[in-house]
Structure 1
Amino acid sequence: MSSNTSDDDQTRIITPVSVCMALALIATAMRFASRRVKHISLLTSDYLSIIGLLCACVVSSVTILQTYFGLGLHVDRVSMPNIRKILLTTFLGEISYSIGFTFIKLSILALYRHIFPTRFIKVSSVVLGTFILMWGISGVLVIIFSCQPIIFSCQPIHGFWDSTTRTKCVDSKWFFIGNSIPNIIADVILLLLPMRDIWKLQLHLRSKIAVSLIFLLGSFVIIASGLRLKSMLSMNEADMTWSYVGIALWSAVEIDLGVVSCCLPVLRPMLAWLIPEAIKNKRAQEFYPLQNN
């Protein structure tokens, strides 16, 4: 394979991933600072968000680390040992991504149940939460058992990153695509789920719009998911270290923004700045959990 030796896509990865990981850390820190300032006990959604943050940090750190192994360069410029390292860290990143997003979405559902204790939200969150949990578990299992050896091996999964072992593996490209589409659909449902109850709040129209926008900021996650899916469709496995850049980048950005979006509704300073009159509203206190716990 011939390639332009000046081609280098590594800077495209490091800066945005570092910034998004920092935003996820800051948002989570503000989340817990808000709880502490208001002397509020931690809720189930808070604990779930911690796991989501840890997994997001793993995904982002792995993505940055992969650039030192050669991600962002054409494959003919990367040594075989480094290609194996990229595949091994990809394996770790994929598992962390699946686990992390499962907990992030469950954290959001737990927050919905706390903010809107209506029958609609309770039933919907159980149904959607069950799907998210089962889909997350199945995704992790497929990743772990994606490579089965043709000959006996003491480590059945190591064929994922060791091309010298004769294995029969799941087509990673189509697994990514098949896994992404249901996730995007679940994200859209998750995003729209609280809108019905938000618009029943006794708030001014301007305040309802502002509250809705707080929740709809999660749409940036869906945009990142779409860009990730687009990158998957154009992936060239023959030049994996170059064509995988988009997938790695948007996977890290997506999960980091997922952490941010699950924290935003809990950040009282932001809500008070956007709709200060809503904070004083008695019915709004039912909307905003930090006020009445």
Structure 2
Amino acid sequence: MTVTPENVHDDKGPKILAVLWTLTGLTAVMVGARMFIRLRMLKSFGIDDYLIAISTVLSLAYCGVTTAGVSVGYGKHAKDLTQENLEMAILLNTISFLFGILSFTIPKLAVTAMITRILCPGLKQKIWLWLLVGTAAAVSCICIIILFTMCDPPEALWNVHLAMTGGATCRNVWILIDYAIFTGALSAFVDLYLAFYPVTVLMKLQMSLRKRIALCAAMGLGSIACAMAIIKSTQLNGLADKSDYTYGTADLVMWTNIEADVVVIASCIPTLQPLLELIMGKRTLGSYGGSGKYKQSSSNYNTATFDRSKRSAVKDDLAITNVEGKESQESILRDDQLQQDKDFPMDAIRRTDNVTVEYESRSAHEHPPEGSW
């Protein structure tokens, strides 16, 4: 980046830390709430929850390594740094990209796991979803390999003196930039697809338009991550700024973190309804049983329970967190669509009801009141 009289004294370090730690802190709170709901309230912890937890750890690692880089001068102009601090800042920044790329790749796997668990797509659609996301993950991993093999030996990536004296051979940096742009474009497409696929299914729900729109908005927040991926891709040219690397790549560092955190936040929002109900007093913590079902209890009655599986119209109080695999509350397709396939049709969710029959004993001399069984 060209040094001008306007930016000659700029230091993007404080801005980097403010953006990274504010957004990552918010993400950590959202993930913590999700973990509380899934573990403590619903007692149903899935593969998507594990992946989101891993993504959060990677995001925190990204912030930690970047913070260390800022402490030695990352975000300042290279001319303002000593040779030692410059090389350490570049080294830490290079390492941070490892965590950064993984932190926006793994959440896509988590979102896919959540979608397949909630919407129960057919086999072909499920294969397509995992193939698409798996391809994006593979492309991202190749991007990491390209980054760390740009120079021989690899330490020339951050050892400026080694590269300048001819002690190392490095490939054209535009190979990395062009591939990274391709990776960003594919990442944006996957984010967009994962956002809009649930909308095409959820709009078929038999419930009020207002609630359908609310569910679609919750599941479609990943489209914001698509926009973040596009913006991040526009910042990749900074990798070519070898003369002022610590300043020229600062925006790329911020947008990489923003993209990753937005994907995680978008995946958490649809799971937070039980906690909102608890905070608003609509439910109590004890009203949630295992496997995402609400508990029903009676202190003065003998009870008998049985399970009944059926498909029916969706109730207006459907919570997205309760629509899960065999534990689902409802089938989400209309009856005429359900007739098309006897074997659990694509995009349908089987409903399993726990019915509790309550009764109390009466003496032989008592007469039941009018209208009782």
Question: TM-score, structure 1 length as denominator?
Answer: 0.85
Structure 2 unmatched runs, 5+: 283-292, 295-313, 329-373
Tell me how far 1:36 sits from its aligned partner.
Answer: 2.7
Amino acid at match of 2:207: L
Instruction: Assess if the C-alpha contact under 8 Å between 1:198 and 1:208 holds in 2.
Output: yes
C-alpha distance in structure 1 between counterparts of 2:182 and 2:116, whole Å: 29
CA distances 1:38-83 after superposition (whole Å, capped 9, x unpaired): 2422101011111111111122222232222212211100122122
> What secondary structure does 1:288 align onto?
helix
1:177 counterpart = 2:181: yes
* Structure 2 counterpart of 1:161: 158
* Structure 2 counterpart of 1:230: 234
Amino acid at match of 2:18: T
Residues 2 and 34 (structure 1), Cα distance of their counterparts in 2 relative to 1, 3 Å cut: closer
Structure 1 unmatched runs, 5+: 150-155
Residues 104 and 201 (structure 1), Cα distance of their counterparts in 2 relative to 1, 3 Å cut: same
C-alpha distance in structure 1 between counterparts of 2:232 and 2:204, whole Å: 35
* Structure 1 counterpart of 2:195: 191
* Structure 2 counterpart of 1:201: 205
Which protein is richer in helix relative to its size?
A: 1
Of 166-175 and 55-64, more deviation after overlay is shown by 166-175
C-alpha distance in structure 1 between counterparts of 2:66 and 2:137, whole Å: 25
Residues 217 and 284 (structure 1), Cα distance of their counterparts in 2 relative to 1, 3 Å cut: same
The structure with the larger Rg is 2
Instruction: Assess if the C-alpha contact under 8 Å between 2:74 and 2:246 holds in 1.
Output: yes
Relative contact order (C-alpha < 8 Å, sep 6+): which is higher?
Answer: 1
C-alpha distance in structure 1 between counterparts of 2:199 and 2:231, whole Å: 25
* Structure 1 counterpart of 2:78: 75
> What secondary structure does 2:243 align onto?
helix
* Structure 1 counterpart of 2:265: 260
Instruction: Assess if the C-alpha contact under 8 Å between 1:114 and 1:289 holds in 2.
Output: no
Residues 245 and 113 (structure 1), Cα distance of their counterparts in 2 relative to 1, 3 Å cut: same
Of 198-207 and 126-135, more deviation after overlay is shown by 126-135
1:288 counterpart = 2:285: no
Tell me how far 1:207 sits from its aligned partner.
Answer: 0.7
Aligned match for 1:240, one of 240, 245, 252: 245
Instruction: Assess if the C-alpha contact under 8 Å between 1:38 and 1:290 holds in 2.
Output: no
C-alpha distance in structure 2 between counterparts of 1:170 and 1:186, whole Å: 28
* Structure 2 counterpart of 1:123: 127
Tell me how far 1:169 sits from its aligned partner.
Answer: 3.3
Tell me how far 1:282 sits from its aligned partner.
Answer: 4.2
Tell me how far 1:248 sits from its aligned partner.
Answer: 0.9
Instruction: Assess if the C-alpha contact under 8 Å between 2:51 and 2:109 holds in 1.
Output: yes
Q: Among the aligned pairs, what percent are the same residue?
A: 20
1:24 counterpart = 2:19: no
C-alpha distance in structure 2 between counterparts of 1:199 and 1:141, whole Å: 41
Tell me how far 1:222 sits from its aligned partner.
Answer: 2.2
Residues 170 and 182 (structure 1), Cα distance of their counterparts in 2 relative to 1, 3 Å cut: farther
Of 198-207 and 229-238, more deviation after overlay is shown by 229-238
